[in-house]
Chains A and B, each alone.
Chain A
Amino acid sequence: MAVIALKMLFGDRAKYLGLIFGVAFATLLIAQQGGLFVGLMTRTANVIADAQEVDIWVMDPQARYLDTTRSLRPTELPRVRGVAGVAWAVPLYKSTIPLKTLDGRIENTMMLGVDDATLIGATSRWVMGSLADLRRPDAVAIDQAGYQRLWPGEPLRLGRELELNDHRAVISAITDASAAFTANIIMYAPYSRATAYSPQGRNSVSFILARAAQGQDSRDVAAKISTQTGLQALSTADFRWKTIKFFLQNTGIPISFGVVILLGVVVGVAIVGLTFNIFIAENLRQYGALKAMGLSDLHLVGLVLLQALVVGAVGYGIGIGVAAMFFHFATQGELRGFYLPWWIAAGVAGLTVLIMALATIASLRRVVVLDPAIVFRS
């Protein structure tokens, strides 16, 4: 009987395509918005994630997330280094600095000043040049997307000059740093040079980056640092989540994306529910005939569920496929870093099941209560 159910479904091509479109559209909308939302939230903490050697971030006790911290006194650095269980600790300077190219283009850059001696705190992904090139005179590293924004369409080239807050800088390396939440260009420079670019002047420590000694748990060491210095110390994972949570709680982003996702579910239920209901209504006499001929309610429900399952599976496949293509092709450059996590795809599958369930409930009821004697009515 499954073949009959599928032939009934495929036989009404217009409605079948309408159902597929409804599910695919809802799936695409939810998956695309879900992926963008996750990508956007991840961006808020990408600077933290990119500093891969670091597993403890130390900051002002009142700091709420990556972008709101107050400078620490330089004397805090040796105090952190003195805490038992700390393998090493280095300063990180973070500031937004105006940038000007020689042809007059103006942008803002997120300048990250990494430890002069060790250069710890920078990304590990390099497109041209290397971390060591930051030791050259006036050297800065720029992220690839930032480079392409400053010189669109031009090939990557080292040695280009620009002005950072009226100071000369030379691009000595190009990174593949993860995109930040703000659209700023990301630059790395040694700490002493980066602070010199800034109006705030020298001796500004935005964060102290530390690593727990081998065998020590980073959370335990972070707690010790907090206790002994009075500063706020968090493991990398905790600081990432604290930053993401700040954006979740203090911006309209979750509501905005949530509304669109909800809209996807509602539109999906509406389109699929209505179309499926019409499909069932138009086939009611045929279901009645099958029921009269001895098809049980259970089998009848099975037929309808099979039809719903096929519609859901095909629609989901198309929708998630298009969403995956979107993230594959449309997220180069400015949208880099956005992707479709497996758990979003799985969640969308769950929502598709919900959409199909909601859309099918009314139809199921119709066939279950269907009086087979309908076939005797003209």
Chain B
Amino acid sequence: MEFAISCRDVFKTFGTGDRAARALRGVSLDIRPGEMTLLVGPSGCGKTTLISAIAAMLTPDSGSIRVFGQEVARMRPGARTLFRRHMVGFVFQQFNLLPALTATENASIPLRLCGASARDANRAAAHLLERLGLADQRDRYPDELSGGQQQRVAIARGLVHAPRLLVCDEPTASLDADNGQAAMALMRETALQKDRTVIVVTHDDRIHHFADRIAQMNDGRVTNVTGPTQDHAA
């Protein structure tokens, strides 16, 4: 079958000589479309480096990373920027919302980057915020929103331009248990479609049941992939 993401023998080392840190030591991993994959493992095992490479934010030293048919490991900087703009959505641990923009304006940024007019982008963002239960909050600024609401704005921003790959970095780390579960449920509900895929880096084992597969990383390698697990509707 055609994988959404296919990593083969990916190596990445930061620094040189005695200070060299070998972040990825030959990662091979396949991720299917229409699935949510959790990347888990101890701190420093290479999870963030791997999703950075998959999302075309850093270039591996060697190996191949194909994302929806495109080889991102060898892309030129300009092509990487365009790839991220059109193909990838992000949900960050610390949300990284722009404090001077309203919820709608924050959520509309990826569409603006893709060339949509401010009016169209804001309309699409407002619609998505409404779906995420923030209809009444869309004109509020981030500091006027709770952590859970901010995360939902971040999810809207990650999805507004309908990216085929959604990369989530510790999306529940800044949320309490209830909000964390709600955020994951929202992502499953809104992000997962047949031709898309979601990767979630997490330390939070309370959200493992949302995953279609769980890839365990250790010491720069993917050591185990499990799943499909259980009924996500539960």
Q: Which residues of A are at the interface with B, using a C-beta cutoff of 8 A?
A: 1, 3-4, 7-8, 10-12, 285-286, 288-290, 292-297, 371-373, 375-378
A292 contacts across to B, CB distance below 8 A: 55, 57, 84, 90
Q: Is B118 an interface residue (CB 8 A)?
A: yes
| CB-nearest residue of chain A to B101 | A7
B88 contacts across to A, CB distance below 8 A: 294
Q: Main SS of the interface on chain A? A: helix
- Min CB gap A120→B, angstroms: 68
Q: Is B110 an interface residue (CB 8 A)?
A: yes
Of A3, A11, A285, A295, the contact of B113 (CB 8 Å cutoff): A295
CA A292 to CA B168, docked complex, whole Å = 12
CA A12 to CA B99, docked complex, whole Å = 9
A3 & B57 in contact (Cβ 8 Å cutoff) = no
30 chain-A/chain-B pairs, Cβ below 8 angstroms:
A3-B118, A4-B98, A4-B112, A7-B101, A11-B98, A12-B100, A285-B94, A285-B96, A286-B96, A286-B98, A289-B96, A290-B109, A290-B113, A292-B57, A293-B157, A294-B86, A294-B110, A295-B81, A295-B113, A297-B77, A297-B81, A371-B58, A373-B48, A373-B52, A373-B58, A375-B92, A375-B169, A376-B92, A376-B93, A376-B169
CA A375 to CA B48, docked complex, whole Å = 10
A372 contacts across to B, CB distance below 8 A: 57, 84
CA A295 to CA B111, docked complex, whole Å = 11
Q: Is B78 an interface residue (CB 8 A)?
A: yes
- Min CB gap A336→B, angstroms: 48
| CB-nearest residue of chain B to A289 | B96
CA A120 to CA B58, docked complex, whole Å = 82
B114 contacts across to A, CB distance below 8 A: 294
A4 & B57 in contact (Cβ 8 Å cutoff) = no
Q: Is B85 an interface residue (CB 8 A)?
A: yes
| CB-nearest residue of chain B to A6 | B100
B98 & A293 in contact (Cβ 8 Å cutoff) = no
Interface residues of B in 69-125 (CB under 8 A from A): 77-78, 81-86, 88, 90, 92-94, 96, 98-101, 105, 109-110, 112-114, 118
| CB-nearest residue of chain A to B109 | A293
| CB-nearest residue of chain A to B173 | A378
B83 contacts across to A, CB distance below 8 A: 294
B118-157 to A contact mask, C-beta < 8 Å, 1/0? 1000000000000000000000000000000000000001
